[in-house]
Structure formats: C-alpha cells, structure tokens
Structure 1
C-alpha cells in the first residue's frame, strides 16, 4: 500500500513550514510492514501546487494521497472534511497572486467530501497523546485550492484511490517569527508522528474497503 504525503514550502515570511518539515521525515519510510510512504514538496502557488501534486501521483501511483498544510493559530492536528469550490482570501501566494471570490472549477460541485477515515485518524492521533480534531473545511487559500483539485482528480481517476487534507499547527520555533507570540504550536516530532498514524490508519481502512469489494 503506497501513501503519498505532500507538504508546502515556507510562505508569509517564515523560514519553515511545519507541513514539509514533518512530511519530509517520512519520505521512504515503510511502516506497518505493508505501508510505504512517499513525500513531495509543493510551492505555495495557486498555479503550480496542484500540478506538482498530480505529477507526483502519476509517477508514484499511490493508493492514498494526504496533502498537508500549515494552519497558524490552530492547536491541533485537524483533518479536513470538505474541499470548497472557491478561492477567497486576501492573502497572496508566493507568486503574489490574490484570488477573491473565484470559483476553482467552473461547473464543478460546490464541495467535495474527503474519503479519508477522518474519525479514525483523529482517534489514532489522540491515542498518541497528540491533540487532534476534525475541521469542517480547509479555508479558502491555497490549501483549499489544492484539496479541491486533488479530490476532483481522484473523482475522475480510473484507479481506486482515496485522498484528503490535514492541517497542522505552527512549530514552536515559528512562533517567535509571527505577530502572535502566544500562538499554539506542536513539535515537529509530534506532527510527524500524527501524520505517520494518519497514513497507517488510512491504509488499514482502505485495505479493508478493497477487500470487501473484491
């Protein structure tokens, strides 16, 4: 079972992005005997992020795709339920692009629902004494744009795959660089362990689903 994790490059003036710092630690890891984890780094770009992720999917041919991004201000690992068909943020991506109240895909559904086992992921992460809870949707910035385009691609895929998005908090060393020095954070070890659990749980549930179908 192959799991592809993606993380984002730094943005907003920070030198780090917790999504990539954690994801890259899992690249090439085999866990639970049957789960191989791969990692890919994405630019914070409306134009390029999904293109890079879909290119990695074509090369790696994963069974599961988990995109990961930073959510500064959150205090927990938060799997997202819905990808919304809208970009609407006054923040610019790393190319200077701002998208206000724009459809991601004309004629596409208003939202896609993740098919990751989000409740099981939250429970597994909490069992590791790492804070986790479900989030309704991934905002309206590049993270959501990537999530929506990923789910649309999986909807059209001829291969059985599941995918979704997980947001992670700041790293402690980032907090000194942001305006809110009281912002919550988790260590890179905690985030890495949480994402490892997410990969294992997703693989287990997907394996059982495939077995039931066959």
Structure 2
C-alpha cells in the first residue's frame, strides 16, 4: 500500500514547518515504522495557487496512492488539527509564494460548495494522538488559503482515480525556530513531537487500510 505524504514549500521566503517535517521524515524514516521507506512517498507542493492542481495530479498519477495525507503549518495553533471540511473557495488574506491573492472565487467552477475528508475515524485518531501526549483536535474549517485548496482539490481529483484513495489534511503548529524568526507570539511544537504525531497518524491509517 502506498501513502502520499505532502508538505508545502515556504510561502514567504522563510520556513514552512510542513516542508521541514516531510523532509525530516523522508531523509530519516521513523525506526518505529519498518514499512515507511517502502510505502510512503513524499512530495512538496508548490506555494502557488495556479500550480497546485497540476502538481497534485502529477503526484497522484506517479504514485497511485491508497491514502493521501496532506500537511500544512498553522501559526497560532497549539495542537495538531485534523481537518474535516474543505470549502470550494479561495480568498487569500496574504499573497501566495508567487504573489497571487485571490479575492474570492471557487476552486473548482462547477464543484460542490464543500467536500469532507475521507480519512476514517477522526475521533479515534484524536484519542490515539492524545494517548501519546500530543495535543490534537478536529477542525471543521481548513481556511481559504492553499491548505484548504489542496484538501478540496485532493478530494475532487481523487474521486476520479481508480482505486479512489482516502484523503485528509493535518494542520501542524510551527517549529520553535519559527517563533524566533517571524512568529514571536505563536505556540510551537518541537520537531520530535511533530514526527511522533505524524508517525501516529500514519501507523493508525496503514493498519486500518491494510485490513
């Protein structure tokens, strides 16, 4: 079984915790997950609203995953957030990496107003994370920036894949280094805690989907 794990390239020329985390996991696979190197495929998604769909489609064709787990950073959040809903709307308060700033428009012109994550048993996963001492919660709104766009597009494109992969999005707190450089009042997680969080998520879904 193949799992597609993605992060985002930095939007502002600084760091992006999701990019750093994916890089960390893929260059130093968790020893607690013996199947990681064989089953997990890592990609960094562009921070450009106009390039995102093409990059996602290319990754899905190349890897043909059974599960897509998208990661994005959320400065200001003090826990791992499992996103339940993506809305068909782009309205950026800050420009993306390429300088684009959509002012309010659908992601998919003829798509439904919202799509729901297909990762199973989100409450059970929250319990698993909390059991590992990792603050976690379900979030019912992925925002209106690139993270929401990726989740919506992932669910939209996955529906036409065969087999249809399950798709979900995890927002993570930023790293301590980012507090020092640019987010002085934000909560943060260490890289070790972020690695443990995604290890728990991956293990839970690999076991569930492999049954």
Structure 1 counterpart of 2:82, from 69, 74, 79: 79
Query: In structure 1, what is the Cα distance between the partners aligned to 2:129 and 2:179?
Result: 23
Q: Which residue of 1 aligns with 2:197?
A: 194
C-alpha distance in 2 between matches for 1:73 and 1:195: 19
Whether the 8 Å CA contact 2:33–2:199 is kept in 1: the answer is: no
2:84–2:116 contact (8 Å) kept in structure 1: yes
1:143 is displaced (CA, Å) by 0.8
CA distance in 1, matches of 2:42, 2:119: 18
**Measured at CA, do residues 196 and 53 of structure 1 come closer, stay the same or move farther in structure 2, by a change above 3 Å?**
farther
Q: Structure 2 stretches of 5 or more lacking a match?
A: none
Q: 1:81-114 deviations in whole A, cap 9, x for unaligned?
A: 0010001122110000001110111121111100
- Please provide the CA RMSD for this pair: 1.7
* Residues 144-166 of structure 1, C-alpha deviations (whole Å, 9 max, x = no match): 11111110011122213101111
Are 1:23 and 1:195, in contact at CA under 8 Å, matched by a contact in 2?
A: no
Partner Cα separation in structure 1 for residue 44 and residue 91 of structure 2: 24
| 1:64 lines up with 2:63 in the alignment | no
1:105 aligns with 2:104: no
Distance 1:50 1:123, change over 3 A: farther
Deviation at 1:121, TM superposition (A): 2.3
Partner of 1:53: 56
Equivalents in 2 of 1:53, 1:189: separation in Å? 28
Corresponding position: 1:181 with 2:184: yes
Report the number of matched residues. Answer: 206
Matches of 2:204 and 2:77 in 1, distance apart?
A: 23
Q: CA deviation at 1:8?
A: 0.7
1:33 Cα deviation (Å)?
A: 4.8
Equivalent-residue separation in structure 1 for 2:173 and 2:104 (angstroms): 26
Inter-partner Cα distance in structure 1 for 2:95 and 2:190: 27
Equivalent pair of 1:8/1:20 in contact (CA under 8 Å): yes
8 A Cα contact 2:5 2:68, kept in partner: yes
Gaps spanning 5+ residues in structure 1: where?
Answer: 209-214
